[in-house]
Structure 1
């Protein structure tokens, strides 16, 4: 067959990139064509994304790539844009770390009992969720909601800017806590409860669909695209490791049991109608913020951390105090008094591995799927020390890579469309072109002791 060219634009919380993929029917070759920063700043009293900057950078991605057969964009989830009756943007999109949602989870539960909310959406309780953001907006800026005529998640907005197509892609729609995965539609009851007109939500489109020539919807949620890069085997769990660590396992249908709710697990859409049962962990955000305040090459820091005595302390990595602190090192020093910087960061990484173990155990309990291996993907898979800690703590092999799983999964869906066999064919090509690193577990009773003594389920 003749070669086809496909452009994947992958935007995370701190940066974005574009990969140009060339497919010959058997092998995939990729070339990074552009890389750019993603920034936020305080505007009109809220932390907001610079969406115009992203728009311009995507234009640069497309210009540098040249002619392509298809393109698609993936980003982080939960945040959104609102358009008025003239399709004007009603303010720059607000960042999920903005404090407008502080205290809103409790108010949401006064309107909708937690049990009912989980049964209707299957989404974990987090104050960053879209539904919580919409409740905050209805309380704090009702005039903005009154003027809204279209709701679009961030990748849907960026796609609309290029195609004129207003649609919410399935994997991202399911992250909003506004979508009913059993009914397969938006929940007008939930939206009404928080003061939102359900008519502003457009139709939901499946990943791999092509609403316009030259445009194929990837799995627009970045974790959905990352997992789409993997040719998974039975018993494979995965960790999409970046600013957040999302720990999960693929399941054929959403798991909405009371046990899953009490474990605060989330059901997010995957390819071909499947779901990703998972849970967010604070992830490498903690390390990123440490380095922002105390800049140095990450490799130098990790080399010193690796030489530091293990198991000196433990921290709840999902503590609200770590979500958006002004000074991460100061917060960690208060949480781990008496430890120097290297010991603090080693304790944080050990605590991450222990939290991964707890989440995997929770997922196995809810799904009935035993964990035989963990695939770590995304930028965080380059942290060899954390990979080894994860293997040691969980007692199973860890396979790290690919680093660019999100953009590669984006390409896999563009190429394979809605054909599961075709997508798997591309996934196997991705496996051939990358060289994952395997970390075998080294038994150490101290992991068990740390897990049993210190980890508190949250």
Structure 2
């Protein structure tokens, strides 16, 4: 009988439960449950419905029992930076506000009055993104101080769901680094920084590393589900899980975790917190096995997802790619890292307005709009890789794309064309696979990530795009 591991992978637009097992020397995946996700407006804020999300988590676990495939362990990964505050009774204070909410506007200035931007980067190595936890907490302090006064614990989104399952409070390492409050070199909370900012040290829990067995299910959940299992921490930040799923053991590549966001970078043993690195907008996030994921956050397929939504989801993503390929010669480009594309009321109009402001041809058709986005992404990838090569003092011969964005074949071709490098695409279920692999290593199914990655290469089809691409 196969041994099953359950990955609960929750993204900004959807979540899914995927069972993984090893059969005939390969990793086999089975999606058993899927649900929709998204921020909702509540009291003027963009929030996550954490109660509904936990109900989906439980429903997917129950599905395992229904189909007779009981996992030996499970772990949850999500996006980064967002959190809940718990009171003395472990009840959530306020709402789980989402990273696209505008409450952090101006909070960078508040933080930099206390600690200069350059020094903050030297300590944490984290790129300035206005949604980082540090700015969210400063907003709490300025606008909702009552919550911070009453709070006894801060748990990031996956930490909170793991706590609901086990009763154990920790802050997992890869997720914690997205806060911009972790010492990049020590891989622990920067308590001096936390005190300078006026946050209580006691809010922050023990930092736990991926692969740690957190515990068993709470007794009432064992009764509800009809079985017990281990809760094992994956890289709870989905980027870390996706990078663990890259099917390569050398160091001659850059990765792109491609989805709503495109995270482009390389794995390193030590962080780069230099001024050059900061000026080039690179970040040093935590990875599996205490690695540093040295990368840049790029807006990614959020823009295409939003364009599709503006058109009432009438077109599939494959159809949008086809329309873009037909309009391949459209010349206009946008800066995909510009904050104007973070949460516009209408993405199509925002793209048109950007082209007008910059004196470029305005896209009129879906194909032209999509080409503008895809080509802009590919050119941003090229600039970013050149920046990484300048920082690391070396070049990389290929790019590994993992995640659902790898299904955008037109973008893959543009990436090979723009960068002049081989583009290896797959596995597209990268985040869930990385989640499962961390559990498998913890259980002893693999001795280390190198052995796991060797099996990944045998288990999944990898498509290669050679350059030049015409």
**Cα distance in 2, alignment partners of residues 186 and 116 from structure 1:** 16
Find the residue that maps to 2:309 and give its secondary structure. Answer: helix
2:16 — aligned with what?
A: 17
CA deviation after TM superposition for structure 1 residue 443, in Å: 6.4
CA deviation after TM superposition for structure 1 residue 24, in Å: 5.4
Is the CA contact (8 Å cut-off) linking 2:348 and 2:369 kept in structure 1?
no
Question: Does residue 365 of structure 1 match 2:390?
Answer: yes
Could you give the per-residue CA deviations for residues 414-455 of structure 1, whole angstroms, max 9, x where no partner exists? Answer: 0012988433322222222211111111168xxxxxxxxxxx
Is the CA contact (8 Å cut-off) linking 1:208 and 1:216 kept in structure 2?
yes
Equivalent position to 1:401, from 426, 441, 452: 426
1:141 — aligned with what?
A: 144
1:98 — aligned with what?
A: 101
Equivalent position to 2:463, from 429, 437, 455: 437
2:56 — aligned with what?
A: 57
1:423 — aligned with what?
A: 449
Task: Within 5 Å, give how 1:133-172 maps onto structure 2.
Answer: 133-172=136-175
**Aligned CA distance change for structure 1 residues 421 and 257 (closer, same or farther; 3 Å):** farther
Task: Within 5 Å, give how 1:264-279 maps onto structure 2.
Answer: 264-279=281-296
**Aligned CA distance change for structure 1 residues 40 and 443 (closer, same or farther; 3 Å):** closer
Is the CA contact (8 Å cut-off) linking 1:207 and 1:217 kept in structure 2?
yes
Which stretch shows the higher mean deviation, 227-236 or 264-273? Answer: 227-236
**Cα distance in 2, alignment partners of residues 434 and 71 from structure 1:** 22
Task: Within 5 Å, give how 1:206-285 maps onto structure 2.
Answer: 206-213=209-216, 214-232=230-248, 233-285=250-302
Is the CA contact (8 Å cut-off) linking 2:6 and 2:17 kept in structure 1?
yes
Equivalent position to 1:203, from 206, 210, 221: 206
Which stretch shows the higher mean deviation, 413-422 or 149-158? Answer: 413-422
1:290 — aligned with what?
A: 307
**Cα distance in 1, alignment partners of residues 143 and 24 from structure 2:** 52
**Cα distance in 1, alignment partners of residues 174 and 443 from structure 2:** 14
Is the CA contact (8 Å cut-off) linking 1:207 and 1:418 kept in structure 2?
no
Find the residue that maps to 2:285 and give its secondary structure. Answer: strand
**Cα distance in 1, alignment partners of residues 293 and 49 from structure 2:** 29
Is the CA contact (8 Å cut-off) linking 2:321 and 2:409 kept in structure 1?
no
Question: Does residue 332 of structure 1 match 2:351?
Answer: yes
2:329 — aligned with what?
A: 310
Tell me how large the CA RMSD over aligned residues is.
1.6
Aligned length: 443
Could you give the per-residue CA deviations for residues 7-43 of structure 1, whole angstroms, max 9, x where no partner exists? Answer: 0100011100011112359432221110001122111
**Cα distance in 1, alignment partners of residues 443 and 71 from structure 2:** 19
Return the TM-score normalized by structure 2.
0.91
Is the CA contact (8 Å cut-off) linking 1:255 and 1:367 kept in structure 2?
no
Is the CA contact (8 Å cut-off) linking 1:12 and 1:75 kept in structure 2?
yes
Find the residue that maps to 1:212 and give its secondary structure. Answer: strand
**Aligned CA distance change for structure 1 residues 53 and 384 (closer, same or farther; 3 Å):** same
2:122 — aligned with what?
A: 119
CA deviation after TM superposition for structure 1 residue 44, in Å: 2.3
Task: Within 5 Å, give how 1:441-452 maps onto structure 2.
Answer: 441-442=467-468
Is the CA contact (8 Å cut-off) linking 1:97 and 1:324 kept in structure 2?
yes
Q: Which runs of 5+ in 1 are unaligned?
A: 445-458
Which stretch shows the higher mean deviation, 303-312 or 48-57? Answer: 303-312
**Cα distance in 2, alignment partners of residues 297 and 204 from structure 1:** 41
Is the CA contact (8 Å cut-off) linking 2:79 and 2:238 kept in structure 1?
yes
1:45 — aligned with what?
A: 44
Is the CA contact (8 Å cut-off) linking 1:26 and 1:429 kept in structure 2?
yes
Equivalent position to 1:351, from 376, 392, 397: 376
Which stretch shows the higher mean deviation, 413-422 or 36-45? Answer: 413-422
Could you give the per-residue CA deviations for residues 390-436 of structure 1, whole angstroms, max 9, x where no partner exists? Answer: 00100001011111000001000000129884333222222222111
Is the CA contact (8 Å cut-off) linking 1:417 and 1:423 kept in structure 2?
no
Find the residue that maps to 2:185 and give its secondary structure. Answer: coil
Could you give the per-residue CA deviations for residues 136-182 of structure 1, whole angstroms, max 9, x where no partner exists? Answer: 11101011111110001100000000011100111111111011122
Is the CA contact (8 Å cut-off) linking 2:254 and 2:398 kept in structure 1?
yes
Is the CA contact (8 Å cut-off) linking 1:28 and 1:426 kept in structure 2?
no
CA deviation after TM superposition for structure 1 residue 109, in Å: 1.6
Is the CA contact (8 Å cut-off) linking 1:272 and 1:418 kept in structure 2?
no
2:404 — aligned with what?
A: 379
**Cα distance in 1, alignment partners of residues 443 and 299 from structure 2:** 32
Could you give the per-residue CA deviations for residues 104-154 of structure 1, whole angstroms, max 9, x where no partner exists? Answer: 122222221011100110000110101011111110101111111000110
CA deviation after TM superposition for structure 1 residue 212, in Å: 1.6
Find the residue that maps to 2:387 and give its secondary structure. Answer: helix
CA deviation after TM superposition for structure 1 residue 97, in Å: 0.2
**Cα distance in 1, alignment partners of residues 146 and 190 from structure 2:** 22
Could you give the per-residue CA deviations for residues 194-222 of structure 1, whole angstroms, max 9, x where no partner exists? Answer: 33111110000110111325121101100
